[in-house]
Amino acid sequence: MNISKKWLSQYMDIEDLTIEEIADRITAAGSEVEGIFRMSEGSHLVIGEVLSCEAHPDSDHLHICQVNVGSTVEQIVCGAPNVASGQKVIVARVGARLPGGEIKASVIRSQPSNGMICSLVELGVDPHSLSEESKNGIEVLDEDAPVGCEDPLGYLGLDDAVMDVGLTPNRNDCMAAWAMAKEAGAVLNRKVTLPSCDEAADTGVKGRLKVASTTDKCPLFLGKVINSVTIKESPRWMRKLLHAAGMKSINNVVDISNIVMLETGQPLHFYDIDALPAQEITVKDHMTEVYTALDGVDYQLEKDDLVITSEGKPIGIAGIMGGNDSKIEDTTRGIIIEAAVFHHVSIRNTARRLNLGTDASIRYQKGIEPLATFKAMDRAVQLLIEYADAKDMEETVQYGTNNYEPVSFTIDLTNINTLLGTDFEEGEVMDVLQRLDLQPVKKGEAIQVVIPSYRTDLMMEADIAEEIIRIIGYDRLPSTMPTMPATVGALDPRQQLRRKLRTTLTALGYHEAETYTLVSERLIHDGVMPLDDAISLASPMSEDRRFVRSSILPSLLESAAYNQARSIKDLALFEISNVYGKSAVEERLAVVMNGDIQKSRWQKLALTADFYTVKGLVESLFAHLGYDKKRILFKENTLDTVHFHPYQSAVVYLGKDVLGIIGKIHPQMAKEYSVTKETVMAELRLDVVLKNKAAKVKFKPLSKYPAITRDLAFVVEENVQVQQIADSIERHGKLDKEHIITDVEVFDVYTGEHVEKGKKSIALSITFQSAQRTLKDDEINEVHQVILSALEKDVHAVLRG
Amino acid sequence: MEKLEMIQQEGLSKIHACANASELQQLRVLYLGKKGPVQEVMKTMKDLPAEERPAFGQQVNAVKSLLAEAIEKKRAELEQKEMLEKMEEEKIDITLSGYRPSLGTLHPLTVVQQEIEDLFIGLGYTIAEGPEVELDLYNFERANIPQDHPARDMQDTFYINAEELLRTHTTAIQTRQLEAYAPKLPVKVICPGKVYRRDDDDATHSHQFTQIEGLVVGEHITMSDLKGTLEFMAKKMFGEAREIRFRPSYFQFTEPSVEVDVSCHICNGKGCSVCKGTGWIEILGSGMVHPNVLKMAGYDPEKCSGFAFGVGIERVAMLKYGIDDIRHFYTNDIRFLKTFTRFE
């Protein structure tokens, strides 16, 4: 909403306030002034008369002018093409400060020049509001302009400043200058007097005009015939106001429709009476045809668009733009006024589809106050009579109603003070309500308020509480802490799990990432353990962001690729996020790593990411979370061998539940996602973790007896898994019913030169310890022997020397 | 006797001159063993008259223990010297870099979110979450934003179908919490989460971002309680010197509604580029829970009241760390992530 100081000054006395002061106070009361624009700028200006104008002897375009500036005559060299003797012009004297800089006395091609004859553009006037003439040359003033006047900008009405007021959606009433004036008056505590035009439209004889609507999207339509108007230039005040509102002056009648819209917020449309096929106007929808509007563009109408018709033919797109045929021109003799209400959603949809954000459509979309239609008709008639010689008027015809019931309710100051935590006194509150025009009246303990028609946002006590505090000022609000029974703040198990994972992973060198939830079809297709059908947006902004992801890994791989493309080889990323399917949601942890997780090059230390790194990470994480290694099982990956390397990946189980998949990326996937083939990754389902109880920390007495370690090496078939061997050893680790094996650790796996092809050599150490006594050598030998023969039997192990 | 004295002198000087452990061992055997010069002298004792023998014996023993003492002293000396020499050989270049276990980092959005969560957990709040794929009901209707309300334009929405959408604000968590709690009092929750709006991604806009909202409903919750609570939060997050300022605003789900500015933590309110010369930074939206919102959830607005506030986590993180482009949060450039290795 743009409103100038002069516009506001029509309704209240604010001469003592600067535009900045006004803006600050309006902002502090809730409607943020987002900018202040001066319509023009310049000091040391004067109206002068060009006494003579001769061509400069050394130039083909400069002129040497003698200019009477009141007290003196100055020589000024001027380059404007339109300068001529006898003109009244704006002169910037030596010392003047203009937007482009300071004017100094100078010599231009050996001719002294003391000042500058100005164009409006040089004085900072927005070129968009100027005619071609004014844009391209010096401004030529009217014949009667007072020479020597030192306020030429004031003379032109350009000594104004415009505030750009950002309105919150509840205050769209302030799109109307009259409502904005009421708001400013309340905020500034000034008495506001609006033009009086009540019942101005209640004149005219009975006529032929019929108005109607065949759709409920037009609840109210007023029409009025004025058979005689005079088209001419608008009076200066009207032109100045339009200019300040950023609109161009066309002619008096068109300008009146715009001025009234700016004042009341109600868009009006004037039709040339002779251009309509009949004195019949009907609002319709379901008109699917091509229509040429005022701007000369052809628009394809659709069935939901509201169309103004006469004799079944469209004469305008309702609330958005009129037609070319019936527009007001110099030849117009009489007019029909339309003041109507159209449903905001319908206007919004049509305006959006046709990409027509007009002054009218914007106002309809934001909603028009219930009485605006009548106010606007009154005001238009009043101005047309005064400035367009409106005569031969017919009575206003009306279709529908505005359904307006005045709103009034009572408020309780105690409640309001309780809600705010304040102790405002009645006198002060009554004064604020008065300023807001809420007509407060004491009713016993309560206060009755009557809500002005344009304040449709005020419906209950809480709304009035806000009015009071925003006008009094939030600096008067105390600062306290809530008083209530004590509550316990805590994280729930899911939140705790997340934090534990984050703490552990970051401690181990992994960086937390965050990627977008919305992904492309390709990423959906590449999901790991996808939930059921992916959720797709009804109207996505782009194909890249069409689906709600059902797996994290593809997104995380994109982040890995981003880094690898920047030559960052060592990467360890994780992300915790929800993933979605049409009927399911899961929280997951994904990990992607590549290169060295830890290293010190000169020491030749490196932890290079491979299958065992991610496996170890999972083992370590879950041990830390309280899940014994016996509960975390790694099994052959039969779930997903498309994205994972089929022989270097595993499905992880927590007990019986599938926890996730870990392993090296499939080379094809690596290629498609531009990451190295060495990339390893994991995606784990956290809901499975939450479902399975973690073990509590429990101290087990430390054994007082020594532990004894025995190494052994043997050869087995290459396809024998270490787990089978370890299981076999563990099963046979009993001595007198006590399980005495505390650890089995593989320390070498070898295939090659010294081992028969198809076989591998494994070296491991077994640690024996009893909780009851010191084990004797021959006892251990006995168990060891049992283990050896078990290995021979179970995995056909052949002992190496 | 002279002989003994000679032995003593010779022994001491030999021990003194001894340069290594093996020589010293030879001397020990020589002087303290069974066949050395001291023993030789001892053997001559039997030739002495009986009354002289004790004194002689004492003298021999004195020499013997003197030598033993000297040997022991020398041994310790040599050992010390040897250790020093060995250590000198072990000298390393301490300027070579150490093995630095690389530490991972929490995402800056997590850092800020956890900081806010922890602050409020300390005040007795619990953390509530909700679905990102949300019903229109909880995202809009229950937040007092009915169908066709102009306020829906403020938040361009990703719809999935007529009923489902990606939540546009974490207020959806609040409306769910209220429904779940009603009519129990008090409600004290912090609601963090990802939210989505139809915005083209650029330096200051992101179609996905993170909010955290707070909600308190109780018997006598006032707007000044809101101010006190937010003041507490601003001071904890941006420093004890921070002040806050309320500016009237509009949100459908609160009445009165305010935007909250925090005095600029960069210039202390004097005006700088971060606060655009105003001394204040807009950081929060908040207000008193709208009576309609309470009513729809099953509370009687005559009997209770509440406040709610919401903050954009990206915005806080950008302000705190001076991040200039919101897209950094979602690109996961490892160099960006590694910025957050430090404790604050």
State pLDDT tens for residues A604-635.
999 999 999 999 999 999 999 999 888 999 99
Please tell me the predicted confidence (pLDDT) of residue B247.
93
Q: For residue range A411-427, list pLDDT tens digits in order.
A: 999 999 999 999 999 99
Residue B104 to residue A466, Cβ atoms within 8 A = no
Whole-number Cα distances in Å, A565 to A132, A511, A559, A562: 54, 18, 10, 5
Contacts of B98 in chain A (CB under 8 A): 600
User: Does residue A216 sit at the B interface (CB-CB below 8 Å)?
Assistant: no
The architecture that CATH gives domain A493-691 is 2-Layer Sandwich (3.30)
> Is B247 in Cβ contact with A30 (below 8 Å)?
yes
CATH 3.30.70.380 given to domain A708-799: yes
Residue A414 near chain B (CB below 8 Å): no
Structure tokens, A88: 């009244």
Q: Do B247 and A481 touch (CB under 8 A)?
A: no
Q: Chain A 549-568, CB below 8 Å of chain B: which residues?
A: 559, 562-563, 566, 568
Percent of chain A with pLDDT over 90: 81
Assigned token pair, B282? 């807009």
Contact A490 B160 (CB under 8 A): no
* Topology (CATH) of A407-472: Phenylalanyl-tRNA Synthetase; Chain B, domain 1 (3.30.56)
Q: What are phi and psi of A533, to 5 degrees?
A: -50, 140
What CATH number should be reported for the domain whose range is A210-400? 3.50.40.10
Best to test chain B binding among A487, A589, A602 (most B CBs inside 10 Å): A487
Interface test mutation site (partner A, options B96, B97, B223, B284, max chain A beta carbons within 10 A): B223
Nearest CA in chain A to B195: A517
- pLDDT, tens only, B186-244: 999 999 999 999 999 999 999 999 999 999 999 999 999 999 999 999 999 989 999 99
Distance from CA of A209 to the nearest CA of B (A): 34
Q: What is the domain partition of chain A in residue ranges?
A: 2-39+161-188, 45-155, 210-400, 407-472, 493-691, 708-799
Antiparallel, parallel or unpaired: β A321-322 and A335-341: unpaired
Q: How far apart are CA A582 and CA A684, in angstroms?
A: 20
Topology given in CATH for the domain delimited by B108-341: BirA Bifunctional Protein; domain 2 (3.30.930)
- Name the token pair of A471: 């006008």
The closest CB to that of B229, out of A474, A482, A495, belongs to A482
Q: Do A466 and B256 touch (CB under 8 A)?
A: yes
Q: Report angle CA A763, A766, A767 to the nearest 5 degrees.
A: 150
- Taking residue A585's Cβ as centre, other Cβ atoms within 10 Å add up to 16
- What is the distance in angstroms between the Cα of B60 and the nearest Cα belonging to chain A? 51
Q: Which residues contact A475 (CB under 8 A, 6 or more apart)?
A: B245
Q: For the domain with range A45-155, which CATH number is right: 2.40.50.140, 3.90.480.10, 3.40.640.10, 2.60.40.10? A: 2.40.50.140
Note the pLDDT of residue B151: 64
A597/B248 Cβ within 8 A: no
By Cβ distance, the residue of A171, A366, A515 closest to B330 is A515
The mean pLDDT of chain B is 91
Looking at CA atoms only, how far is residue A404 from chain B in angstroms? Answer: 19
How many other CB atoms are found less than 10 A from the CB of residue B245?
17
Residue type, A379: R
Q: Which of A169, A502, A539 sits opposite B150 (nearest CB)?
A: A169
pLDDT at A736 over 60: yes
CA distances from B298 to B155, B179, B218, B219 (A): 26, 7, 14, 15
Yes or no, beta carbons of A507 and B200 under 8 Å apart: no
Enter the pTM of the model: 0.85
User: What's the gap in Å between the CA of B160 and the closest CA on chain A?
Assistant: 4
Dump the DSSP string for A472-528.
H-GGG--------S-------HHHHHHHHHHHHHHHTTPEE----SEE-HHHHHT-S
Q: Using CB atoms, which residue from B104, B218, B290 is nearest to A482? A: B218
CATH code given to domain A2-39+161-188: 3.30.56.10
Asked whether the bond before A701 is cis by omega within 30 degrees of 0, the reply is no
On the CB side of A217, CA atoms within 13 Å amount to 23
Q: Is A483 on the interface with B (CB under 8 A)?
A: yes
Chain A residues with beta carbon closer than 8 angstroms to that of B194: 517
Residues of B in contact with A513 (CB under 8 A): 107, 332, 337
Report whether pLDDT(A666) > 80.
yes
Contact at CB, A487 and B246, closer than 8 angstroms:
no
State the Cα torsion A320-A326-A328-A333 to the nearest 10°: -150
Model confidence at B154: pLDDT above 70: no
Please report the pLDDT score of residue A158 as a whole number.
86
Q: Does A296 touch chain B (CB under 8 A)?
A: no
Least confident range from A8-17, A771-780, B205-214: namely A771-780
Contact A545 B207 (CB under 8 A): yes
Cβ within 8 Å of residue A73, ≥6 positions away: A51, A66, A67
Residues of B in contact with A462 (CB under 8 A): 255-256, 288, 290-291
Q: Tokens 């604000």 sit at which residue?
A: B169
Section B111-130 average pLDDT: 96
- Residue A770 near chain B (CB below 8 Å): no
Within the 305-344 window of chain A, which residues sit less than 8 Å (CB to CB) from chain B? Answer: 344
Of A571-585, B39-53, B77-91, B145-159, the poorest mean pLDDT is in B145-159
Which pLDDT value is given to residue A469?
96
Cβ contacts from A onto B, under 8 A: 234
Which chain B residues touch A541 with a CB distance below 8 Å? Answer: 198, 200, 207
Nearest to A474 among B126, B148, B258 (CB): B258
CA distance A65 to A733: 116
Q: What pLDDT, in 10s, does the model give residues B60-86?
A: 888 889 988 999 999 999 999 999 999
- Alpha-carbon span A672 to A666, nearest angstrom: 10
Contact: A465, B256; criterion CB under 8 Å? yes
Q: Which of residues 419-478 of A touch B (CB under 8 A)?
A: 419-422, 460, 462-463, 465-466, 469-470, 474-475, 477-478
Between chains, do A603 and B99 touch, taking CB under 8 Å as contact? yes
Amino acid A530: pLDDT? 93
- Among A375, A355, A345, smallest CA distance to A218 is for A345
pLDDT at A708: 93
The pLDDT confidence band at residue A245, using thresholds 50, 70 and 90, is confident
- Domain boundaries along the sequence of chain B: 2-89, 108-341
B308–chain A nearest CA distance, Å: 13
Q: Which is nearest to A512 in space by CA: A551, A546, A552?
A: A552
Per CATH, A45-155 and A407-472 having the same topology is answered no
Name the token pair of B97.
């870099």
From chain A, pick out residues whose CB is under 8 angstroms from the CB of B148: 344-345
Cα A715 from Cα A728, distance rounded (Å): 15
Tokens of A71: 């007290």
Asked if pLDDT for residue A574 goes beyond 60, the answer is yes
pLDDT at residue A478, rounded to an integer: 96
Q: What is the ipTM of this complex?
A: 0.89
The pLDDT score that the predictor gives to residue B35 is 83
Q: Do the Cβ atoms of B158 and A365 come within 8 Å?
A: no
Neighboring chain A residues of B219 at a CB cutoff of 8 Å: 484
CB contact under 8 A, A489 and B225: no
Decide: B56 and B48 in contact? Cβ < 8 Å: yes
Contacts of B159 in chain A (CB under 8 A): 537-539
